[in-house]
Structure 1
């Protein structure tokens, strides 16, 4: 019992401290991109459903969907896409994303617009597949 009392209070408090948070870049990342489903919803409104394994978090799934949207935009002969929303779910190690974008030839209003051509290049550089 005396040995327990001999432990400095600072050491006891340090043992109770929460571990340092791990940054996203320190997490293992071995993605397996398993498919993209594209649906034209209405005119310039398009849904992209993606499936992958090995994602670190929602951002990896959202980036996969953005790459799909960028390539689709280029294929359709448009230059810009605007992000509307992305829903992400994970079940037993499989990640699902459901993203909606508008596509347009001119820069659309809004904060979440992407230059599709530049985005496709970035996707190729980072190894994220497109449509």
Structure 2
């Protein structure tokens, strides 16, 4: 089993993604820090949630995916689920804003699959990395 931080760093290559990369000078807010613009959450079905995250000042789509995973982990934890599994994430760039559209399956026990998240550990890791979970 992989450590959640390792998964945060490596899942980007296995994630479905749309949109192009922005030129280098176009993706920072002038301070070199990402600006997290919020999360929208929709419960699709019992244990199935859709999250849309938005941010500026990111260096690549991996940051957007990490923000989505952190939001999904917190949502799952708040709803009493100990685990989440990424179903899909689509990332696109709209002007200076990057948008991530993700779907996660939530469960009380470790689900099968490669893209699983231990929600308590992930929320702790997100706090350490400075990624908001709400």
1:69-124 CA distance string (max 9 Å, x none): 00001101110000000000102111000010000001111111010000000000
**CA RMSD after TM alignment:** 1.2
Task: Please give the secondary structure, in 2, of the residue aligned with 1:102.
Answer: strand
Task: Indicate the residue corresponding to 1:123 in structure 2.
Answer: 126
Relative contact order, higher structure (CA 8 A, sep 6+): 2
1:46-70 CA distance string (max 9 Å, x none): 0010000011111000000000000
Cα distance in 2 between the residues matched to 1:82 and 1:94: 26
For normalisation by structure 2, the TM-score amounts to: 0.76
Structure 1: tracts of 5 or more residues without a match: 1-26
Task: Work out which of the residue numbers 21, 38, 42 in structure 2 matches 1:39.
Answer: 42
Task: Please give the secondary structure, in 2, of the residue aligned with 1:60.
Answer: helix
Task: Please give the secondary structure, in 2, of the residue aligned with 1:108.
Answer: coil
Larger radius of gyration: 1
Cα distance in 1 between the residues matched to 2:47 and 2:77: 13
Structure 2: tracts of 5 or more residues without a match: 1-26
Cα distance in 2 between the residues matched to 1:84 and 1:93: 26
